[in-house]
Structure 1
């Protein structure tokens, strides 16, 4: 049997656990908003039309910052369409997804929904078809207390208190030819710099996210980041990263090692940002906002895209149904974001409901958890204190895409004040269980609070509309702790979390 040894040192601190790592993303795309978070007339809907069953699941999921309203959608969005009396709001064509947008949910409604879920709102501004003035107008509407035209308009619309939005995205994926208003790095960098500078004239404490590459496979990857930051460095705080992963051509081994690509993405963007920092002889360090990440079967979407009815209202778009294997990779990606908490200051799981999402709904019906729900909810609940980088000794296997990959991956968190720790582990072996011995003697913990994970004899088992609880958390009864040594056997193709206490 394959074995692994892991040592956890409380001095091997990466950074404090940042709750913004557990962010998500709500875009006006498909049924994410309409039939997702918002469905007037649903049995659980409140007076504002928000589904209570979805609010409960989002709360259980443990999301923090929610990015809104896009995504590709934002590059054609007029925020003014979504405020004021609903009966006066225009219906518009959304060029990003070739759908109809009724604007029944806008910034005021979404701010109310964020309060219901205890989430922080992260707002994106349109730099595809709009610019500096529109961004300043939206900032005034949302954040100015009163006494100006737009702040008084917000008050008249039923929101007497400003929203105090601190994180703002300066457009979305402006390097992508699919983006409305896409532009070169030089042109975008100049526009982002002007917009950021103007917004910081209003409030220098704002945290601004400039667009990085929309994937590491873009031909301009790396150079895009350098060029954009050379223009905008002084006025922005974050640069965005977007990455999606899928199993291709039955190559499960490469898919299970997808986090190695995320590692490469992070290292490359950090290098580009630090290059600009050193070139400017600056003490300022740019953080990463990994504000789109997930498993997404993009090849399948591309195959059916041309068959979807255009200009439909809330069409069923990109409603991937996730397997156990998807959840294992998903959990590993979240572990990787935690591992890089020193530079990844924010992250957004894309998306939250129905669209490549951990939560699914049916109109007038129920809501349920996808397999990916579980690694996110458990990690969000257990991770506290500081992130620790484990030392891992384990054999590797060879992948077609990523080269050699360790059979086991791990990250840990440690809360010295509470006397608790959590160890997150992945077994990438497709056939064998792996017994792992974890040295936690330096942490001063003496008991296993819980040990749960995701695995199944059928790695492609899913929670579907007809079988909504086929996959769930499974207790790992093999876990034991004695003399500062945690021993646990990880099933093949599995994600596991162990909580430790005094």
Structure 2
């Protein structure tokens, strides 16, 4: 069989405008994400607020538009009031979700300041596990009300005269999960989410709200949960969340590289449920999706089971990512772009140290993991409108998944910049993939660059000692003839072909 692929796109066949927040991320009070990650007073490269400047620089390079905080499972047992006011007066508490001790040296105000320094917005998750409606009202008042009320004046006394103006709020986290503190049935969650949504928007009508969908596609309550929650909340929330992680537990790389096809089906299923509820309610409102936890996660599972409980910021969920993980992350990013009409926010979980593109040594260096690069490329060059990809590609089968295209690809048109960017993954493990893209509706184009992330060893990783072991280069072989782009995509590679529209 001759392996080959062709993609045709038309500038008028638009999937949707890519919301910048599609390239969001996540920081939870888990492991070394906060302490030793973004915040480490006393580090040689920390600023006066204790923020690691080396980490800030790497985050800024990603152009992360929004960061979800403070959890995650952590939030369902978290009292945000423990993390405000003088640090010396804040309590240390047992954190039951991850069985650690939370010192509360870092909280809302510190995170708001860090986000401003990083050039990103805050997506705040409220506690609907051990807390409820009144607490939801209070946290919005503290964060967003200008002044003249109990909670807003308390924020001012704490040294933050200007409100944080947090626009996006999550109504709890994974409340269908039996592991969740304050786990609820769909009816229980739907009711409290509705009442919390009402008082939060009464406190600040400008905010947007995300309701919890199922915590994973494989949950036994999936679909019924979404329908029940939306039956309660449809007219009061703006987004429904999706969470999913992918792994290669069986060391089956061909199947692992096809996980993005399952992400596609997950998104389509949730979209269908949302549209069913729209029809049921005779609503004019379209429900959008927030895929606010997604990533590859499996490397650290065994090590995490051996961690001694009740430590402060132990090394938890510290996956060290391989070249093949980067390919999967690239495919997942392409899937999100394929659904840019409905998925308006997404959060790569997480940002630093915990299943993250950025790793640090406490007291030492920071470096970029393999998955940093597709994430950065998509964030930098995937802004604009995603275009319908008509793909003809040879395919392969595995025991679990069939009809897997060797090519995973999409194009994004940034009209303001006069650019089209093609993102492409060659899933073929044994050979190059001859690739052609027909952009006839754009007229003549010129090549800006062809970036390639590849490595002879799919298990290759970056470390503090070898931070550039897996790194992209700009020696790709794409050529342009008018509006036809041709390239030979290296085996098992991530490709970014940037074009100028003439």
Judge same fold: TM > 0.5, yes or no.
yes
1:137 matched to 2:138? The reply is: yes
**Cα shift readout 1:439-476 (whole Å, capped 9, x = no counterpart):** 12322352111111211111111102332211001224
Give the structure-1-normalised TM-score: 0.98
User: Are residues 1:26 and 2:27 paired?
Assistant: yes
Q: Equivalent residue of 1:234, what SS?
A: coil
Residue 248 of structure 1 contacts residue 255 of structure 1 at CA under 8 Å; is this kept in 2? no
Matched positions, count: 500
Aligned counterparts of 1:443 and 1:245: Cα–Cα separation in 2: 36
1:67 aligns with 2:50: no
Query: How far, CA to CA, are the matches of 2:186 and 2:267 in structure 1?
Result: 19
Report SS of the residue matched to 1:313: coil
- For residues 57-103 of structure 1, give each alpha carbon's deviation from its aligned partner in whole angstroms, at most 9, with x where no partner exists: 00001211100000000000000000000000000111010011011
Moved over 3 A (4+): 303-306
Aligned partner of residue 399 in structure 1, secondary structure = coil
3-state SS in 1 of match to 2:437 = strand
Give yes or no for contact 2:452–2:476 (8 Å, CA) kept in 1: no
Q: CA deviation at 1:186?
A: 1.0
Specify the alignment match of 1:265 in structure 2: 266
* SS of aligned partner of 1:116: helix
**CA displacement at 1:487 relative to structure 2:** 0.6
Distance 2:442 2:397 in 1: 34
Q: Distance in 2 between matches of 1:93 and 1:464?
A: 32
Mapping of residues 47-126 of structure 1, within 5 Å: 47-126=48-127
1:288 maps to what in 2?
289
Match of 2:173 in 1: 172
Cα contact 1:75–1:127 (8 A) shared by 2: yes
Matched-pair contact (CA < 8 Å) for 1:419–1:444: no
SS at match of 1:235: coil
State whether residues 366 and 464 of structure 2, in contact with CA within 8 Å, keep that contact through their aligned partners in structure 1. no
Residue number in structure 1 paired with 2:245: 244
Q: Please give the secondary structure, in 1, of the residue aligned with 2:56.
A: helix
Secondary structure of 2:140's aligned partner: helix
1:297-328 Cα distance to aligned partner (Å, 9 max, x none): 07x51x34442110001000010000010000
Take 1:436 and 1:305, find their aligned partners in 2: how far apart are those partners? 42
Give the whole-Å Cα distance in 2 for the aligned partners of 1:179 and 1:416.
44
Task: Encode CA deviations 1:175-217: one digit per residue, 9 max, x unaligned.
Answer: 1111101111111111101111111222233210000011101
Q: Aligned-pair distance for 1:385?
A: 2.1
2-structure distance, mates of 1:400, 1:455: 26
Q: Distance in 1 between matches of 2:378 and 2:273?
A: 30
Tell me if the contact between 2:140 and 2:204 (Cα under 8 Å) persists in the aligned partners: no
Contact 1:382 1:422 in 2 (8 A): yes
- Contact 1:36–1:353 (CA under 8 A) maintained in structure 2: yes
List gaps (5 residues or longer) in structure 2: none
**1:196-255 alpha-carbon deviations (Å, 9 max, x no partner):** 111122223321000001110111111110011101111111010001001121211110
TM-aligned CA deviation for residue 495 of structure 1: 1.1
Q: CA separation in 2, counterparts of 1:330 and 1:305?
A: 22
Cα pair 2:298 2:319 within 8 Å, conserved: yes
Name the counterpart of 1:320.
319
Equivalent-residue separation in structure 1 for 2:254 and 2:365 (angstroms): 35
| Partners of 2:182 and 2:443 in 1: CA distance | 55
How far apart, CA to CA, are the structure 2 residues paired with 1:463 and 1:269?
36
Report if the CA contact (8 A) 1:212-1:224 is conserved: yes
Secondary structure at the counterpart of residue 100 of structure 1 = strand
- Runs of 5+ unmatched residues, structure 1: none
Tell me the residue number matched to 1:373: 372
Once residues 429 and 31 of structure 1 are traced to their aligned partners in structure 2, the CA distance between those partners, rounded to angstroms, is 36
Distance (Å, rounded) in 1 between the aligned partners of 2:98 and 2:416? 48
SS at match of 1:236: coil
Aligned ranges for residues 441-456 of structure 1 at < 5 Å? 441-456=440-455
Q: 2: distance between equivalents of 1:17 and 1:443?
A: 19
Distance 1:445 1:316, change over 3 A: farther
Kept after mapping to 2: 8 A contact 1:421/1:445: no
Aligned to 2:208: 207
Question: Contact between 1:420 and 1:445, CA under 8 Å: does it hold in 2?
Answer: no
Rounded to whole Å, the distance in 2 between the matches of 1:87 and 1:202 is 30
Please give the alpha-carbon distance, in whole angstroms, between the structure 2 residues aligned to 1:329 and 1:306.
25
For 2:189 and 2:389, the matched residues in 1 are separated by 40
1:430 corresponding residue in structure 2 = 429
Q: What is the distance in 2 between the residues matched to 1:423 and 1:354? A: 30
Aligned to 1:228: 229
